[in-house]
Amino acid sequence: MAENIHPIFDQTLSRTSKEELLRQRALVIWMVGLSGSGKSTLAKGLEFALHQRGHLTQLLDGDNLRSGINNNLGFSETDRMENIRRSAEAAKLFLSAGVVTICSLISPTSEIRNLAKSIIGESNYYEVYINAPFEVCAQRDVKGLYKKALNGEIKNFTGLDAPFEEPQNPHLEIRTYQDNYEVSLQKLLDAILPRITFAALG
């Protein structure tokens, strides 16, 4: 911890008291996958579906974060690590407010994902691998980035000249190259709803 810094751990309201107010259990849902795999589409759909069911949510999407608190970061290994560190710290703040927090960031290496998990805390971290192979994402090319990367106009592109290590033990895997959007979203909801449902004590 930095010198001469004195956080006020004992004076803050507990997370539990906020979860009781919101009648939900907080969780960080960390969506991992290649650009174009379906992270943002499913993160938005999940947030909307949870909201409709009465949950307070917050969506933290890589592209959005990179337009704000992470706007000085690029795509080197060091910058991606810092991108994930800040994003995980932001997620941790929402978690402490009792909010169901959905993070959609490529998070390309196990080292980076371990960093996120260690900041958020293992019991609060729910990793979802949004799986679509490079070729499928390149075929979709939602933003035209694959075309540019394959033409050499973008460097350090994930899956091309920057690494993507597949998650080995995600809590959930969604294969968007097999399942359509509706099926994918239902699988997410089936897995997540029981984990955020409030169970009153006593």
Ligand X SMILES: Nc1ncnc2c1ncn2[C@@H]1O[C@H](COP(=O)(O)OS(=O)(=O)O)[C@@H](OP(=O)(O)O)[C@H]1O
**Element (H or E) spanning 140, and its range?**
helix 134-140
Q: Exactly one of 156, 172, 179, 191 binds ligand ADP (CB under 6 A); which one?
A: 179
Distance CA 53, CA 26 (A): 15
**List 41, 45, 49, 75, residue binding ligand X (CB under 6 A):** 75
Pick out residues in 124-183 that bind ligand X (CB under 6 A).
Answer: 143, 145, 154, 156-158
What are the residues whose beta carbons fall under 8 Å from the beta carbon of 184, sequence distance 6 or more?
A: 38, 42, 174, 176
124 belongs to the binding site for ligand ADP (CB under 6 A): no
14 included as an active-site residue:
no
Q: Which stretch binds ligand X (CB under 6 A): 3-11, 43-51, 77-85, 182-190?
A: 77-85
User: Which tokens sit at 43?
Assistant: 């993160």
Binding flags for ligand ADP, 23-42, as an x/- string (CB under 6 A): ----------x-xxxxxxxx
Q: Residues 104, 107, 118, 123: which is the catalytic one?
A: 107
Q: Quick count: other Cβ atoms within 10 Å of Cβ 176?
A: 22
Is there binding between residue 98 and ligand ADP (CB under 6 A)? Answer: no
Which position among 70, 101, 109, 184 is part of the footprint of ligand ADP (CB under 6 A)? 184
- Separation CA 150–CA 157 (nearest Å): 9
The answer to whether the annotation marks 37 as part of a ligand binding site is yes
Residue 2 to residue 94: CA distance in whole angstroms: 22
Tell me the three state secondary structure of residue 32: strand
**Can residue 36 be called a binding residue for ligand X (CB under 6 A)?**
yes
Euclidean distance between CA atoms 187 and 184, whole angstroms: 5
State the residues that interact with ligand X by CB under 6 A.
Answer: 35-36, 39-40, 62-63, 66, 75, 80, 83-84, 105-108, 143, 145, 154, 156-158
Annotated binding site: 33-40
